[in-house]
Amino acid sequence: MSKTQSEKDILKDVVNGKYRDCYLIYNRKSTDEADNQKNSISYQRTENASFAKRNNFKIAQITLTGFCTSGVVSEKHSGFKEDDELYISNGMVQYRIDRPKFQQLLQHLSRGYFKGIICLCWDRISRNKGDDTIIRKLMRNGVDVRFVYANYDKSSAGELHMDIDSMFSQHHSRVTSEKVTLSTKNSRQKGKCTYRAPIGYLNEGSMDHKPIDPVRGPIIAEMFELYATGDWSLADVARHAMEQGFTTVPMRRRRSKAEILADESESTETIEKVSRPVTENHISRILTSRFYTGRVKGPDGDYIESTSHEALVSDEVFNQVQSLLSKKKVSVHYTEKLDHPLRGVVRCAYCERVYTPYEKKGHLYFNARCIKGCENKMKNCNIDQIAEKIKAFIEGLYFTDDELAQLDARASTDISLLEEKRHKELNVVERKKKKIRENMAYLRSNRLSLLQSGVYTPETFIVEEQKLEADLKQLKTDEEVSDEAMREMVKDVVTLSELLKNVVPVYDFANPHEKEKIVKVIFSELYISQDVLKYKVKKGFETFDDRISAICDPTGNRTPISWMRTMCPSR
């Protein structure tokens, strides 16, 4: 029988109630108590097993990968930290438990699969109020929780004893956290390196002394010198460093989820440390770090003089490198940049990633590196197709001769309607102006009484007076809009239509970069959605986006509608 099948059988037995009279042992090693032998996993395992044997508590002899071994659950995790997210729905309050094995343990206990658990003391099982509340609820529901170092009576005195132990376990974690925070802050104020020093320095377990790596340090100093000349790119520096044998510091890979959940006995020492070759990103991070100038991050995040390490480069060389990096200087070996049109103009309609132009076999194409799961299937397309569709968009924007004739025929009627509407608006404006003038006159004539009665303070009186003056000024501005301006608006629409019409032949004979300039003048957005190219015009061109509305209302008081054209000619 395979391992997976046997575990399935074990889980089936658990669910069917085979271990309802058995206990599980829970061991937890706190991340902030590395030197406390009493709380080591091995110590807890021994003490808990002896306690179970003395009291004839039957331990469930089950082994489940990532959870327990022979009924013993062990994990390295802080019992103080808890998730801050809270979910409230239909009177139910939920929050996430950070400890993965503890979470599984509580699920099994709440369903009655086991009689109870055995642990060393209260602070091994909880050090925060959230988890503390869950444990107490389980105990009230009949789960038998046993502690090696404590025995809580089922009385008010026992409850008080439990409250005191819970309070002190939380207090211990808070004090530890404060001590670590304060110690780190004080050390940083003194210029000590409280974090792992970057490549080029040795981390020997002391924040007081970070010596220069005799192998990598000189190579890093040379990197700064080479880049400061302006003749080397990041790729050149990376290649040169690799030729000198430069590699990253040997590090173990990240542990898998299974390794994180493994017992302490399955040590991570089996994971071999590996040095990796440097890349341009490595070089970029090195050349932008002020650590190499003999500085460390202070308590406020600013760099201060270090007392833990020596500088590898001078401030003059470092500043020269930053100046060159800010200009994105290109290596003298690669001075010719690809001169492709419509760069950064077209985007994906779903994830809004930019389509980047590239050349293949003498033709220009667009490619988008969409985010994972993006619905858009059109990842590549021909730039010539895009250019043709944009031309069709422009041709569809200007008015045809028939539409201009309709616009001209309706212009007088439309303007008359607008004039009638304007006269009504002017009457309303005049009434508002009269009301504001009356209010201003009342304020000025009764200023003293209004202030003495407390209706206004001097400050609020001035604010009210200024508000009335601003409202009156705005109404006068609205009144100054003339009938001639309305007629000129219609003329502007016709003129702009003629300009758009003249753009089409110019667009036909323009080179790619000239076409790009035309596109950026007319369109604010271009999107590709599957095999459809969508667009939005810039402000001022909305009038031409909806032909019928433009003819009926040349002032453009409507909602713009973007046109869509298929990318595939067959559609």
In a domain, 200, yes or no: no
Looking at the fold, whether 290 and 402 belong to one and the same domain comes out as: no
- The domain of 73 spans 3-174
- CA geometry: angle 249, 263, 58, nearest 5 deg: 170
Contact 127, 173 (CB under 8 A): yes
pLDDT value at position 312? 92
Q: How many domains does the chain have?
A: 4
In a domain, 379, yes or no: yes
Please state whether beta strands 346-348 and 523-529 pair in parallel, antiparallel, or not at all (unpaired): parallel
- Give the domain-ending residue among 334, 362, 393: 334
- Give the domain-ending residue among 483, 505, 529: 483
| Burial readout 42-81 (b: 16 or more C-beta within 10 A, e: otherwise) | eebbebbbebbeeeebebbebeeeebbbebbbbbbbbbbe
pTM to 2 decimals?
0.45
In a domain, 492, yes or no: yes
d(CA 486, CA 411): 10
Looking at the fold, whether 378 and 465 belong to one and the same domain comes out as: no
C-alpha 90: how far from its chain's center? 30
How buried is residue 151: exposed, middle or buried, by Cβ count under 10 Å (0-12/13-18/19+)?
A: exposed
In a domain, 444, yes or no: yes
**Helices and strands (H and E) in the chain: how many:** 18, 15
In a domain, 206, yes or no: no
Looking at the fold, whether 326 and 462 belong to one and the same domain comes out as: no
In a domain, 225, yes or no: yes
Looking at the fold, whether 398 and 442 belong to one and the same domain comes out as: no
pLDDT value at position 27? 87
Nearest Cα neighbor of 77 from 140, 138, 128, 37 is 128
Looking at the fold, whether 232 and 252 belong to one and the same domain comes out as: yes
In a domain, 243, yes or no: yes
Return all residues near 506 (Cβ < 8 A) that are at least 6 apart: 518
Q: State both tokens at 501.
A: 């019409």
Q: State both tokens at 551.
A: 């003819």
- Give the domain-ending residue among 299, 334, 369: 334
Sheet holding 116-119, edge to edge: 72-76, 23-29, 116-119, 144-147
pLDDT value at position 316? 92
- Each residue's pLDDT expressed in tens, for the chain with a length of 571 residues: 445 558 888 888 988 989 999 999 998 887 555 555 557 888 888 888 999 999 999 999 898 888 888 889 888 776 555 666 655 666 666 666 777 888 888 889 988 999 999 998 888 887 777 778 888 888 888 899 999 888 888 888 878 888 888 788 778 778 877 888 888 888 888 888 888 889 989 988 888 889 999 989 999 999 999 999 888 888 888 888 888 888 888 877 776 666 666 655 444 456 777 778 888 888 889 999 999 999 998 888 788 898 988 999 999 999 999 888 887 644 444 445 556 667 767 888 888 787 877 777 777 787 878 888 788 877 788 777 777 888 787 777 776 777 767 766 665 555 555 556 666 666 777 777 777 778 778 777 877 777 777 777 877 777 777 787 777 777 666 655 544 555 566 676 677 777 777 777 777 777 777 777 877 777 777 778 777 887 777 766 666 655 444 434 444 443 333 333 344 333 3
Looking at the fold, whether 384 and 329 belong to one and the same domain comes out as: no
Looking at the fold, whether 301 and 368 belong to one and the same domain comes out as: no
First to last CA, the chain: 58
pLDDT value at position 313? 92
CATH of the domain at 318: 3.90.1750
Alpha-carbon separation of residue 85 from 90, 96, 98, 105 (angstroms): 17, 7, 11, 21
Tell me the sheet residues that pair with 79: none
In a domain, 204, yes or no: no
Looking at the fold, whether 535 and 554 belong to one and the same domain comes out as: yes
Alpha-carbon separation of residue 15 from 7, 73, 80, 141, 458 (angstroms): 12, 18, 31, 18, 77
Looking at the fold, whether 459 and 405 belong to one and the same domain comes out as: no
Looking at the fold, whether 32 and 101 belong to one and the same domain comes out as: yes
Return all residues near 345 (Cβ < 8 A) that are at least 6 apart: 516, 519, 520, 526
Alpha-carbon separation of residue 502 from 391, 399, 490, 494 (angstroms): 12, 12, 19, 13
CATH of the domain at 153: 3.40.50.1390
Looking at the fold, whether 447 and 520 belong to one and the same domain comes out as: no
Looking at the fold, whether 308 and 295 belong to one and the same domain comes out as: yes
